[in-house]
Amino acid sequence: MHYYMTASELAQRIKKKDVSAEETARSFIERIEELDGSIGSFITVEKDRALDTARDIDKKLRQGCELSPLAGIPIALKDNICTENIRTTCASKTLEDFVPSYSADVYERLEKAGCITLGKTNMDEFAMGSSTESSVFKVTRNPWDYSRIPGGSSGGSAAAVAAGMAAFALGTDTGGSVRQPAALCGMVGMKPTYGRVSRYGVVAFASSLDQVGPITRDVRDCALVLNHICGHDRRDSTSMNVAVPDFQQGLEEGIKGMRIGIPSEYFGEGIEQGVRDRVTDAIGVLEDLGAECEEVSLPHTPYALSVYYIISSAEASSNMGRYDGIRYGYRAKDYSDLLDMYIKTRSEGFGAVVKQRVMLGTYALSSGCYEAYYKKAQKVRTLIKADFDSVFEDYDLIVCPTSPFVAFRLGEKTDDPLENSLSDVYTIPANIAGLPALSVPCGFSEGLPVGLQFIGKPFAENTLLRAAYAYEQNTGFHTTHPQVKGGAMQ
């Protein structure tokens, strides 16, 4: 089995019966058993369930049933996506033993398509982080260099795909948590337009920012997965009732005449020279393919990180209120009364990063601070969105780096949460404005992957995919894979 085949290629092999779905699933499970002791991508592996699903797909194939293009494809899900009867932990002690009684909309859709769920992937606790180091279970390592982070918070998903332990994975993106780990692991990662994919059954971090997105090997796979996870869901009040096009249509139309804005604010202080060089080279490729690339300005970009921190922390403090030890989740063992039980449950159940964000958010929403912090952040959010609206009057899309630097070393930024979150300085604005954004590999710096980010107009995923596909097919960085090795880490 070639673990670095795209989902599209694997699907063709299964459909032609060159290989069975069971053989495919079994080989990926063996791959996880061989490598995950070193990388730490998975919190839960569902071996028996995966093989049962695979056998069912094979049975349907033998019967001549018409199956979806994703039938038999082995996938991984970030562990904040609810899966009925499969543990869903959010990498937190609070939900260590939580088994949902229902499934997220995205999981239902992929299950219906015949995908084989291999397991649930590691993440920053409750998706609050950029390095997958705050999980209560383990640290995930970058398959390109085991001494470095894979990005976050969907680091387990990105590392699993990069190491060939899943054909594709789902993550969630609140401030860059799909695109940034995809970039640092050399994968394709997309955050669709806010409301394009249902958030029903996805454990909330910051509800006005969260969005589910795919991490895949190439742009065609990304389009294929979007075809299956997008669509209106009446169970999610923020789900948009808009038509879902075939995202694979028009991929090969090229970008001749496309107008691309290059925001000057994304190339300032803090960007590594190697990243700047690779992104500049990529812009040159886009110009060679016939795109018109011009410098533009998004003047409120410097405020995006502060706005994100206030809004996301405020929403997190509200969303974390449900973990009180009463209804479900962790409960402290020794307490004197109800208040003591609340305090001890939350103190023992949450890690340092989650506590920090809850306290910050509670402060920002408190009497006397609401106007100065939360309300002001929402006003600046409007200005950031207006910057994008203004640029998109004249340009089809925006191109910039995904992350200002390549994957940093494990433990390097754990003591400074703000320094850690600077990884997301170029991804956060798209979340604030609710825009679709996509990261593709654009080369290497210090032997580590660099990501190129495309940002588009609302619901213009097709345009992003077309531009990214044109770039990808004319460079081939997506065909380079890490040299991974098995064995348990010391």
Model confidence pLDDT, tens digit, residues 22-71: 999 999 999 999 999 999 999 999 999 999 999 999 999 999 999 999 99
Q: What is the pLDDT of residue 341?
A: 97
Record the pTM.
Answer: 0.97
- Whether pLDDT at 333 is above 50: yes
pLDDT digits (tens, 9 = 90+) for 412-444: 988 776 676 788 999 999 999 999 999 999 999
Report which of 178, 90, 77, 78 is spatially closest to residue 431, judged by C-alpha positions.
Answer: 178
Query: DSSP labels for 419-433?
Result: HHHGGGTTTHHHHHH
pLDDT bucket at 376, cuts 50 / 70 / 90? very high
In CATH terms, the superfamily for domain 7-260+394-479 is: Amidase signature (AS) domain (3.90.1300.10)
Q: Is the peptide bond before 38 cis (omega within 30 degrees of 0)?
A: no
Catalytic residue among 8, 41, 78, 191: 78
CA angle 217, 220, 224 (to 5 degrees): 100
Is residue 367 part of the annotated active site? The answer reads: no
- 437 forms beta bridges with 191, 455
Cα–Cα distances in Å, from 349 out to 99, 151, 154, 310, 345?
17, 24, 21, 23, 6
- Domains of the chain, by residue range, sit at 7-260+394-479
Count of CB atoms within 10 A of residue 321's CB? Answer: 11
What average pLDDT does range 375-387 have in this prediction? Answer: 98
pLDDT higher than threshold 70 for residue 269: yes
Write down the H helix ranges in 40-175: 47-62, 105-112, 155-162
- Overall average pLDDT of the 442-465 stretch: 98
Size of the chain in residues? 490
Model pLDDT, residue 417: 67
Asked, as a colleague might, if the bond just before 421 is cis with ω within 30 of 0, I would say no
Q: What crossing angle do the helices spanning 352-365 and 304-319 adopt, rounded to 10°? A: 100
Tokens read off for 160: 């699993």
Give the pairing type, strands 188-191 and 292-296: unpaired
Told to judge if 135 belongs to the known catalytic residues of this protein, a careful annotator would answer: no
Residue 212 CB coordination number (10 Å): 28
CA dihedral 45, 49, 50, 56 (to 10 degrees): 180
In this predicted structure, the answer to whether residue 383 has a pLDDT above a threshold of 80 is yes
Mean pLDDT of 452-456: 98
Give the distance from CA 76 to its chain's centroid: 12
**Is 60 exceeded by the pLDDT of residue 490?**
no
Instruction: Please compute the mean of the pLDDT values over residues 80-106 and round it to a whole number.
Output: 98
* 47 assigned to active site: no
The answer to whether 78 and 120 have CB atoms below 8 angstroms apart is yes
- Report DSSP state, residue 80: T
Cα torsion for 86, 89, 91, 96, to the nearest 10°?
-110
Instruction: Check whether 489 has a pLDDT greater than 80.
Output: no
List pLDDT tens digits, range 163-219: 999 999 999 999 999 999 999 999 999 999 999 999 999 999 999 999 999 999 999
Catalytic pick from 130, 157, 177, 313? 177
Average pLDDT rounded to a whole number, residues 318-324? 97
Measured distance CA(225)–CA(238) in Å, rounded:
21
All residues at 6 or more sequence positions from 180 whose CB lies less than 8 Å from its CB, including other chains: 130, 151, 152, 189, 402, 403, 423, 424, 427, 439, 451
Catalytic residue among 153, 198, 423, 439: 153
Q: What is d(CA 131, CA 101) in angstroms, rounded to the nearest whole number?
A: 30
d(CA 34, CA 28): 10
Other C-beta atoms closer than 10 Å to the C-beta of 471 total: 25
| Dist. CA 456–CA 430, nearest whole Å | 9
- The helix/strand/coil state of 324 is coil
Percent of the chain's residues with pLDDT above 90: 95
Computed over every residue of the chain, the mean pLDDT equals 96
Distance from C-alpha of 443 to C-alpha of 348, rounded to nearest angstrom = 43
